[in-house]
Amino acid sequence: MTNNHLIIGLGGTGGKTIKNMRKAIYEEFRCNEPNQSKLKPEKPIYIKYLYVDSSKPDLAASEQWRTQEEIGSDIGLNKESLLPISQNNLAVRLNDPQNYPITHRYIGRKEDWSEIFSSMNINETAGGQIRRLGVSLFEPECNNFITHVLTLVDQLENASTQKGVQFHICCGLAGGTGSGAFLHVLAQLRARFASSSAYPIYLYVLLPEENSPWASNGEKTNYYANGYAALQELNAYLVSDASESSHKGGPLFAPIDLTGQTQRFEKVSENNVSALKDRVQGCFVLDNVNEANIKIPVQEVTQLFAQLIYQRVFLLDDTGAQIPQNVKSAISLENFNIPDEAKASDAQFKLRTVRLQTFGVKKIVIPDEEIREHLAACFAEQSLLQMLYNNWMPGDTRYRAEIKNLSWGEFVQKDANRRPWKLTNNQITLSEGLLEGERENHWPDISGDWAQTANDLKSTAWLSPVSKGRDDRLDNLQKSFQDYYDKRFRKIGVEVFYKSKQDDLGRENTHIAEVTQSIQAWMFYKWQEGDYGFIDLQTLLSELVEDLRSRSVKIADRLKGMEARRTELLTIISKNKETWGNVGIFGKMAGKREALFDTQSECLKEYYELKTWHIAWGFAEQLLQRCVIELRDKLQPIFVDLRRTLEDGQVFFEQRRAATCRLQETTDIKQNLLKFYEPEKVRDFSRSLLGSENKQQQWAQRSRSDFINAAETNKVDVRSKEKYFGALLYHGSLKNIIEQVARDNSQQAHDEATSISTRLIGANIVSRLAGQFQDQEKLRSYVRDIVASTQTFMRFNQSEITSAPNAVMAVILPRCDEVKSFRDELASLFMSNQTPGITLCIVDSSRNLNQISLICFKYGFPMRFLQPLQFLKEKYDLRLQQNPARARLEVHIEDHPATRLPELFRPRPDQMGNTILPLYQLAKALELLQPQEDTATNKRRWRLETRDADNLPEYHFYPNEIVALLDSGPEVETLSAANLQDVLNSATEEQVFYLEKALHPLLKSDHYKIATNREALKAILRLQLSTALSHRAHNVEDIFYGKLRDSTKTAMAFIDNPL
């Protein structure tokens, strides 16, 4: 058996099965590709997937699948594994038969789609519980489907250097997409891959759930009718045509070839021999209620599909695993030779396939994954509490969900704290450079600049020559100050300098950005290093915004004070100039001018310095106001949203911690999953791991680092510009990153703190059972209950069962050398407690050591054995009563002649009677029935002559009571309607068969292709009805006359549309 597997999921059920399969593989191998795992199988296993669906959201979601719904490891599908069939131009195709001939082979009458079009957007809807719409969605993509399959098969065979692929097709039967497309998928696969030994096909189908919310529109729902119609068509596809024709061995019903290369997969080169031989090697049918009437959610059935496929792929199909033959037979029907059910009158005329299978799975498991999830949730919750609050008080054993008491109002007012934020007074006034380019200029601060400038200007002005007895040095001094202020302050003058900086405030990447980014960078670094919790920083940010607002408001008072002082200085400067001109000779000699020059220089320095500061503080006022707006309107919302993200994450993991390893969880032996562990021990162990603040800091540090790195990587990938907390908010995958880091940290901590005998994760279930069950009697009782409660997920209709289905139970038991004798005893107990009628066998396993799996198979039965089939049939009949034409169009994938789809149930006692009555009428009208005396009873009966395979006559006899009513001959005995009905009910399938055999060629003959001939035959039927009325005392209310009247209509319909 090949180790290449292609799992094809059709519709929602198929997609969920693929997801569960990938999850099971990841949990066992810790990666998506088993052959790349450290735990890789001894023989390489090659698996590909193809998910086909009409639901765009489901297809998009499949690319983001994770092992734990929205968190956990990535198990998403790549593009090559997806085939959308969501584009539907059916309205166009219906109106253009010339360019879309394939559509018109199956779609039905254009007029019948009008009402459907009016009730839904046919171009955008998915399958919509209309199976034929599912076909119309699949048809345009059929060739693309084949291309996908061929590509994936080629990849599998090249990777394995081995020819052959096992196909696993999974779908539900209730909807439109999967239920509508699955037969086309089966046929296309077998037509392309003819060898059933190299390319076996296995089908896994889910029956519609009783009382499903998807069937909420009562009698109009297709939900159940779809299921029955799909089973009818599946049965006809699986049953082989035994006729001596070119189609022998092919299916009774082959769907339309949607590629258009053939009509119904005929090999034209071989005289239309069917290409569909050995169509399916396994057909598993499951319900969501098992034999013991235990119901599970429908989505859990897809887990059962995935579990079976997983066990097949990695164990049961392994040629070296010494799998018992009866298990192989249960899986792939090897050596299965029970014939399909046939007509009672013709053993070669097959009606109902018996190549059906069902199964159920029970697991006794140490829930490693749940324990991992619980430990990871505990670690993740603590990491997030550290990120949020960073509040670990002396004596604590975990971080508190409480804000620390810190004085952030005082903190933001200290210059030492303001400096890294670029918010000191010197920085916001540009007394020192704020931007990097400004800092590189190494400007002196404003006060130092004017102090140095004043000295230089004073010396220069004092040494300027006195011309013609006029001493202008004081004026020159003032002009020099004014000139420096206007032109030479930082090379361009005070007002020009600050005007340019004010203009810069309206541009990106200047002073406001520098301040806000410096604030973010500082906060981000403090949070990244674990110095402060995020909520601490959010509080600090609020205090900082308020402090900046307060500082900007106070600048106005500062400016007023400067203005008042400058006015005083102008008065002094003016007086000094006046005094300068009035200094006489003696004053000069006494050095009065020198003193006055020094005083004036100090006044001018102070004046121009104040004038500079006045403009600088005006700039600072605008800077602070704009920073407040930037921080309030942009950064604070980021903090609010990111805090919500962190808090949501913390609550999420808190809830996961509470939902896993629950102390009050009860175990019912009847359930599928039996957990074998001690939840309290897991919780105590988790608490013990989290008691160290140092370790918690280290684990939280790694969580932050990975969160930050992932956000940065994602930001680069999408070429985004967000920084710091904004990058975390918009590009971080918080839950996924935190969970993965927590999982790694908790696994490492677990491994370091435990030994082989004490480990909670990775223990052998057999070893743990040995420790738990020292009492052999308790063990025997435990095993007996487990075996007895392992049931298939299918209820059987006992009234339909004529011979019990084959039944096998495989117990997949892990090897365990450390308690080998106990394992041998356990295996023996399983064998000795097998359920009557079910053969039990032990399958040794070296994988999944934490679990014992019991898989119960039943196989080799017809669909009529299935109890849900009766319910589906009733719903199907009810649906067809509402609007037969539209109902058939919606629930069947194409229109079927009456004889194409055999009945799934054996004829009821009255069913042959209802079938034979119109045949009596037609046979009598065509004079096929002739009266003949029964020599044994001297009673009249009616003889039918047919020909056998050698063209020799054969005779069949029918009772007189019914046919005589149609005969205008002698009077007949008047029987009650009830007695006549009993005579009808005594009709056999054989009697019906030979009537049909005689009638069919006549009604299909050229003679009755002429309308006048058909009308003549109908006239005979009308005359028969009148004759019957006379025999029934002309009582038009006679019950049996009414039955004959209805039957006459059926007979007339047969004339127009022969069987």
Q: Which pLDDT tens digit goes with each residue over 753-804?
A: 999 889 999 999 999 999 999 999 999 999 999 999 999 999 999 999 989 9
Which one-letter amino acid corresponds to residue 3? N
Residue 203 DSSP SS3: strand
Residues 6+ apart with CB under 8 A from 950: none
What are phi and psi for residue 813, nearest 5 degrees?
-110, 120
**Number of independent structural domains in the chain:** 3
pLDDT at residue 126, rounded to an integer: 55
Residue of 549, 547, 566 lying closest to 615 (CA atoms): 566
Positions of the chain with pLDDT under 70: 119-127, 217-220, 244, 469, 583-591, 898, 909, 1059
The whole-angstrom separation of Cα 10 and Cα 302 is 12
Transcribe 149-190 into DSSP letters.
HHHHHHHHHHHHT----EEEEEEESSSSHHHHHHHHHHHHHH
The whole-angstrom separation of Cα 356 and Cα 352 is 10
In this structure, the chain runs to a length of 1059
Distances (CA, A) of 51 to 27, 158, 167, 280, 712: 21, 22, 13, 20, 32
pLDDT at residue 465, rounded to an integer: 75
Residues 87 and 143 in one domain: yes
Residue 1043 DSSP SS3: helix
Residue that terminates a domain, selected from 762, 779, 810: 762
Tokens 């059972």 sit on residue: 769
Query: Is the CA virtual torsion 1049, 1051, 1054, 1055 positive or negative?
Result: negative
Residues 6+ apart with CB under 8 A from 501: 430, 511, 619
Neighbours of 67 (CB within 10 A): 19
Residues 371 and 343 in one domain: no
Which one-letter amino acid corresponds to residue 579? T
The whole-angstrom separation of Cα 232 and Cα 249 is 19
Residue 311 lies inside a defined structural domain of this protein? no
Tell me whether strands 806-814 and 839-845 are parallel, antiparallel or unpaired. parallel
Distances (CA, A) of 188 to 194, 246, 253, 261, 437: 10, 19, 14, 11, 70
H helices of 867-942, in order, are 867-882, 884-891, 911-925
Residue that terminates a domain, selected from 876, 899, 923: 876
Tokens 């009783």 sit on residue: 210
Residues 345 and 396 in one domain: no
Residues 6+ apart with CB under 8 A from 476: 461, 464
Residue of 47, 2, 69 lying closest to 659 (CA atoms): 69
The whole-angstrom separation of Cα 343 and Cα 729 is 69
The whole-angstrom separation of Cα 355 and Cα 262 is 27
The whole-angstrom separation of Cα 1033 and Cα 541 is 103
Residues 460 and 384 in one domain: yes
Q: What angle do CA 21, 26, 30 make, to 5 degrees?
A: 165
Distances (CA, A) of 669 to 420, 666, 788, 789: 65, 10, 10, 7
pLDDT at residue 1059, rounded to an integer: 55
Residue 801 DSSP SS3: coil
Beta bridge partners of 443: none
The whole-angstrom separation of Cα 411 and Cα 968 is 116
pLDDT at residue 590, rounded to an integer: 64
Distances (CA, A) of 448 to 99, 605, 606: 89, 11, 12
CB 293 within 8 A of CB 10: no
Residue 8 lies inside a defined structural domain of this protein? yes
CB 739 within 8 A of CB 68: yes
End-to-end CA distance of the chain: 44
Neighbours of 883 (CB within 10 A): 14
Residue 572 lies inside a defined structural domain of this protein? yes
The whole-angstrom separation of Cα 685 and Cα 747 is 12
Domain that holds residue 497: 367-762
Residue 216 lies inside a defined structural domain of this protein? yes
Q: Tokens standing for 389?
A: 């609050």
Residues 6+ apart with CB under 8 A from 290: 296, 360, 791, 792, 793, 794, 795
Residues 254 and 381 in one domain: no
What are phi and psi for residue 196, nearest 5 degrees?
-75, -20
Residue 218 lies inside a defined structural domain of this protein? yes
Which strand (E) or helix (H) includes residue 483?
helix 473-483
Tell me whether strands 806-814 and 851-861 are parallel, antiparallel or unpaired. antiparallel
Q: Tokens standing for 243?
A: 């006729």
CB 173 within 8 A of CB 219: no
CB 958 within 8 A of CB 929: yes
Residues 729 and 604 in one domain: yes
Can you give the pTM of this predicted structure? Answer: 0.82
Residue 788 lies inside a defined structural domain of this protein? no
Residues 342 and 379 in one domain: no
Residues 343 and 442 in one domain: no
Residue 125 lies inside a defined structural domain of this protein? yes
Which strand (E) or helix (H) includes residue 52?
strand 46-53
CB 920 within 8 A of CB 1021: no
The whole-angstrom separation of Cα 960 and Cα 967 is 10
Beta bridge partners of 295: 289
Residue of 266, 249, 49, 84 lying closest to 155 (CA atoms): 49
What confidence tens digit (pLDDT) does each residue in 717-726 have? 888 888 999 9
What are phi and psi for residue 845, nearest 5 degrees?
-140, 140
396: Cα within 13 Å, side-chain hemisphere:
15
The whole-angstrom separation of Cα 261 and Cα 187 is 13
CB 764 within 8 A of CB 816: yes
pLDDT at residue 219, rounded to an integer: 64
Residue 1013 lies inside a defined structural domain of this protein? yes
pLDDT at residue 971, rounded to an integer: 76
Residue 82 DSSP SS3: strand
Q: Is 334 exposed, middle or buried (0-12, 13-18, 19+ CB in 10 A)?
A: middle
Residues 646 and 501 in one domain: yes
Residues 628 and 743 in one domain: yes
Residues 35 and 58 in one domain: yes
Residues 517 and 476 in one domain: yes
Residue that terminates a domain, selected from 745, 762, 779: 762
